[in-house]
Structure 1
Amino acid sequence: MKFKKTILNNSNLVIVLTSQLLFQLALWIGLIGNLQFLQKNVESHLLQSIFLVAGSVFSVIIGPYAGRLIDGVAKKHILLTVGILRMISVGFMFIALMTESVWWMLAYSIGVSCSASFFEPALQAIIVEITEEKELIIANSLNLNIVTLSRIFGATMGGLLLTVASLYLLYAISFGAFLFVFMITFLLKIEDAGFIREKKKKVEFKEVFSVISKRFDIKMMLLLSIIPTIFIAGFNLFIVEISSIQNNPSIKGVLYAVEGISLILSSTFISKKINHKTRIYSLLVTSFFIVIVQFLLSFSNILLFPIIAFVLFGFSYGIFNPVFNTLSQETIDNEFHGRFFSFKSMIDRTLLQISMVSIGLLLDMIGFEKVVITFGFLSLFLLLTVTVLYFRKEHTKNRRENITFHHNWNKKL
């Protein structure tokens, strides 16, 4: 009943989640196409990696502008403009296929990545506007599930399509998905003229920093989010290393599957049962589980341990992500949502690239076991630091409240 009320009776949410599904599927299908195109036209692995991450670099650079625009202009207009940019980007890819030029492929990657810099924060800002507060965590859980399923099925579909069809058809499917998303965006019914038009003021990206600095809980959440982000950065590299340790290529599929299933189950059935008072504690507990995951991977020579580790990570992140987004949406004023989620996206993308390169380098230097133990201790140190600061802050807050209460009581007497 709750699912029906949350989704089927909320046409705006159906449109937003459908847009997310199609966008993510097209994104992953296109990524598989990019890998195939690069493998064919670029021999150097270093150059291949540079072309793959270049789009993310540009998306980080335009992050502040994206955040300002999302908060300053009607979000529906943002989604429509982004839809046009995506379709133009696919056009660049068709030129790349005709000319076999990696530079046109780079233009495609930059265009799609930059569109994501607008699309994701705008979507987070819209979800809170079109969903009742008590059902917000359900909407965020569904959004995470869609992203996860799209990652699994999009990559699978892209791989299968390459065995029976050309790259032209692959990108034609992506173009069709982007076109459909563009068309259904017109059906969105949200009253949002943008905060620039409402308040007649200039929107500055740096204003979000003062908002964050005043909220200890937001700073704490951002610090905690580093723990799963670092693990996600090494996700694929860890799986490759585990399959080598096990000398079993089929373990890759098992680990991807158990992580995805565990994530979907926890985000669907558990995260929405966490009430407002226990959400901060759930972030601390799931961060601790992710620390345990990293130590468990040091025993990857035993088949059961990496499987347990990836089940535990999926379970933990399936709770962490929707709870984090829900708390952020509820705590931060609507007029800062675009800038906050753009800032969060910039942090994630930068941290992912730095961590990915660092993990790859460390794997060559010290080996898999020492890498996961090192990151485990670093994550544990960060978690303990945040936990101590949080409980110290809570203790100080409670003490002040008690002093105020006794002071007021004595005045009444």
Structure 2
Amino acid sequence: MKFKKTMFKNKNLVIVFTSQLIFQLALWIGLIGNLQFLQKNVDSHLLQSILLVAGSVFSVLIGPYAGRLIDGIAKRKILLIVGILRMMSVGFMFVALATDSVWWMLAYSVGVSCSASFFEPALQAIIVEITDEKDLIVANSLNLNIVTLSRIFGATIGGLIISVASLSFLYTISFVAFLFVFIITFSLKIKDDGFIRRKKKKIEFKEVFPVISQRFDVKMILFLSVIPTIFIAGFNLFIVEISSIQNNPSIKGILYAVEGISLILSSTFISKRIKNKNRIFCLLVSTFLIVIVQFSLSLSSMFLFTIFAFGLFGFSYGVFNPIFNTLCQETIPNEYHGRFFAFKSMIDRTLIQISMVTIGLLLDVIGFEKVVITFGFISLILVLIFTFLYISKERSNYKSKESSRTLN
């Protein structure tokens, strides 16, 4: 693709993608270390779960502040501050290892999660500023691919490290990675000096809500994003259940690989087929495919159906996520990007935590097959509602255009 050739000439984009890659790798390596540390120092599975999700809870709470700050000061400065917070957080983990203190590990988890609540929305806001509009879908797709590859290789690398070295060595690697990201951030050149500084006014987080409510497309796709988000929340639980149903522990790795590879391959499809298509229509189709995935999982006792389902989900989400981000980046004014993506991050984190608990409870009460069928029907109803609203809106717009032509 032409974009791939020109991308490497865009120094800012290379820095952003490199930062994302190294950050995500270090994040997943650190998560493997956290699991190992908790397994050693905490006997209660419930307490382990609470400690793992505590960081996400704090990141949701500071979401509004993160959004305001991203829109308020230069985004490069945000990334530098976040870099310092990450390295401080790894310092907390070294104290935890020296004292076997779960509380210091909690401080690490909170620090890294809070840094992510700044880093991710800031990155989304930066991508739209440093990328040509015609290349925005491909840029968002590449960003998603980087996150996916980091998840796969980061967890693998973390597992290999703890099998041959100490946890101290593992977190040293994380610290060096965060330090590298901090250093290369100084090379980032963005024509952004902060909207608060230019407008000389105080910006409130709540100002983003009227902006969203005035845009039908954004409201619609925000609600539509609930479907893939809920599936992602149950992703690990579903894989564990499928492994148990098929009595095949190796299926876990196969499903993760199939989903990841399919998601990465979908970027080629997006760049060649979807760039000039109706984006709302593409989002509706991709969510409908996720509905098919949920119904397909009711046949999870069959190996091929399971492979098909996770491959289809990877492809569908690989289409949905870049188009969603691109549409929001283009529709929402630049001065609200930080707050909008912080708000979206808050929704995702909250929904994922609630959905994980709900899905876990339902798996115990009604079983795997009924859970996926129930979510399939709920998702199907949502897709049909959104499709009806979309068609009604398009008809209304068409009639308005015809009326204006008639008057002219």
TM-score normalised to the size of structure 1? 0.98
2:188 corresponding residue in structure 1: 188
Separation (CA, whole Å) in 1 of partners of 2:13 and 2:399: 42
1:134 corresponding residue in structure 2: 134
- CA shift in 2, pair 1:271/1:299, >3 Å: farther
- CA shift in 2, pair 1:5/1:199, >3 Å: farther
Q: Within 5 A, what are the aligned runs for 1:171-186?
A: 171-186=171-186
- CA shift in 2, pair 1:269/1:393, >3 Å: closer
Task: Decide whether the 8 Å contact of 2:3 with 2:135 is kept in 1.
Answer: no
| Cα distance, 1:270 vs structure 2 | 2.7
Task: Decide whether the 8 Å contact of 1:148 with 1:260 is kept in 2.
Answer: yes
State the Cα deviation string for residues 253-273 of structure 1 (Å, max 9, x = none). 111111100000002333553
Task: Decide whether the 8 Å contact of 2:138 with 2:270 is kept in 1.
Answer: no
Unaligned regions of 5+ residues in structure 1, if any?
409-413
Separation (CA, whole Å) in 1 of partners of 2:6 and 2:368: 44
1:67 corresponding residue in structure 2: 67
Amino acid at match of 1:79: L
Separation (CA, whole Å) in 1 of partners of 2:264 and 2:277: 23
| Cα distance, 1:138 vs structure 2 | 1.2
2:221 corresponding residue in structure 1: 221
Task: Decide whether the 8 Å contact of 1:224 with 1:382 is kept in 2.
Answer: yes
1:351 corresponds to 2:351: yes
Could you tell which deviates more after superposition, 84-93 or 275-284? Answer: 275-284
Q: Within 5 A, what are the aligned runs for 1:394-409?
A: 394-408=394-408
Could you tell which deviates more after superposition, 270-279 or 37-46? Answer: 270-279
1:290 corresponding residue in structure 2: 290
> 3-state DSSP class of the match of 2:236?
helix
1:170 corresponding residue in structure 2: 170
State the Cα deviation string for residues 77-125 of structure 1 (Å, max 9, x = none). 0000000000000000000000000000000000000000000000000
> 3-state DSSP class of the match of 2:278?
helix
1:238 corresponding residue in structure 2: 238
> 3-state DSSP class of the match of 1:187?
coil
Amino acid at match of 1:119: F
Q: Within 5 A, what are the aligned runs for 1:310-325?
A: 310-325=310-325
1:201 corresponds to 2:201: yes
Separation (CA, whole Å) in 2 of partners of 1:264 and 1:271: 12
State the Cα deviation string for residues 268-287 of structure 1 (Å, max 9, x = none). 33355313442111100000
Separation (CA, whole Å) in 2 of partners of 1:267 and 1:43: 42
> 3-state DSSP class of the match of 2:248?
coil
Task: Decide whether the 8 Å contact of 1:6 with 1:139 is kept in 2.
Answer: no
State, as a whole percentage, how many aligned pairs show the same letter.
78
Q: Within 5 A, what are the aligned runs for 1:21-32?
A: 21-32=21-32
Task: Decide whether the 8 Å contact of 1:205 with 1:339 is kept in 2.
Answer: yes
Task: Decide whether the 8 Å contact of 2:137 with 2:275 is kept in 1.
Answer: no
- CA shift in 2, pair 1:258/1:59, >3 Å: same
TM-score normalised to the size of structure 2? 0.99
Once superposed, what is the RMSD of the aligned Cα atoms? 0.9
Task: Decide whether the 8 Å contact of 1:289 with 1:316 is kept in 2.
Answer: yes
1:98 corresponds to 2:130: no
- CA shift in 2, pair 1:21/1:289, >3 Å: same
Separation (CA, whole Å) in 2 of partners of 1:99 and 1:357: 31
- CA shift in 2, pair 1:6/1:360, >3 Å: farther
1:307 corresponding residue in structure 2: 307
> 3-state DSSP class of the match of 2:327?
helix
1:153 corresponding residue in structure 2: 153
Separation (CA, whole Å) in 2 of partners of 1:6 and 1:138: 12
Task: Decide whether the 8 Å contact of 1:149 with 1:260 is kept in 2.
Answer: yes
2:84 corresponding residue in structure 1: 84
- CA shift in 2, pair 1:320/1:6, >3 Å: farther
Amino acid at match of 1:382: L
| Cα distance, 1:350 vs structure 2 | 0.3
Separation (CA, whole Å) in 2 of partners of 1:153 and 1:3: 25
